[in-house]
Amino acid sequence: MALAEAGARGRLLRWPRVLLFGDSITEYSFQENGWGAYLAERLVRKCDVVNRGISGYNTRWAKLILPRLITESTSPDSIVAVTIFFGANDSALKELNPKQHVPLEEYAANLKSMVQYLKSVDITADRIILITPPPLEESAWEKACLAKGEKLNRCNATTGQYAQACVQVARECGTDVLDLWTLMQKNQDFSSYLSDGLHLSTKGNSFLAAQLWSRLDNKLSALPSLLPYWRDVDHTNPEASLL
């Protein structure tokens, strides 16, 4: 059978998408042992996991980009989950990092705006997961700052305020939320979860992947695996199995 004829007979294969939208902690998530790579591996026969992490960005900039990633013409059925993971840059101290800093109330408003936009293009609340920034290990991050000739430009208490705001937005908007800031500090020294005080270590990536998978698995467990297992293909008549 000619390839063109096979294509005409068969349905177009479209993998649903899980969109990871965030800052550098998302951008780096496809590195070795990264949390995004973990999700992609677990979902390879069900979904495409799309990394739209943009290092250094905050919610002020992110809300301008989101409508260019998911438009009104995007089929809502093609997006099965979206993670929104910002705050590590928004919570930078204004006097020391004014370019990335976003005031707390604006941060919350920006998150709410992004959720409302997704809802307006028929991405329902049950498919949206907000993720708070992780805790900041100040001594390690200060070393990273000093190495670049800068002063410590973030503090964990401030990051916690942004995390709480993220949780509140999720509550108000009816979305799921992963409170990474609280979970990582629960009854333990969280420094091992971070590579430089801000970004995730291998252990931190594994922790986030497990927490996120417990939520995504519930949402995506009903999705079928695309294309049959190879042992189930009728080798005498593959068209019957594959088209």
Catalytic residue among 48, 122, 179, 196: 196
CA dihedral 167, 188, 192, 83 (to 10 degrees): -20
Active site residue 196: yes
Catalytic residue among 23, 90, 101, 199: 199
Q: Convert the pLDDT of each residue in 132-162 to its tens digit.
A: 999 999 999 999 999 999 999 999 999 999 9
The domain 17-219 is placed in CATH, from the list 3.40.50.1110, 3.30.930.10, 1.10.10.10, 1.20.1270.30, at 3.40.50.1110
Block residue for tokens 């479209």: 14
Determine the Cα–Cα distance for residues 108 and 103; give it in Å rounded to an integer: 9
pLDDT at 22: 98
Active site residue 221: no
Where in the chain are the domains? 17-219
pTM above 0.85, yes or no: yes
pLDDT at 135: 97
Q: Convert the pLDDT of each residue in 103-121 to its tens digit.
A: 999 999 999 999 999 999 9
Active site residue 78: no
Cα torsion 108, 114, 119, 123: sign? negative
> Mean pLDDT, to the nearest integer, of 27-55?
95
Query: Can you read off the two tokens belonging to residue 83?
Result: 């993670």
Q: Which of 13-17, 33-37, 148-152 has the lowest mean pLDDT?
A: 13-17
pLDDT at 72: 81
What is the average pLDDT value for the chain, to the nearest integer? Answer: 92
Catalytic residue among 24, 78, 195, 206: 24
Q: Convert the pLDDT of each residue in 64-98 to its tens digit.
A: 999 999 988 788 778 999 999 999 999 999 999 99
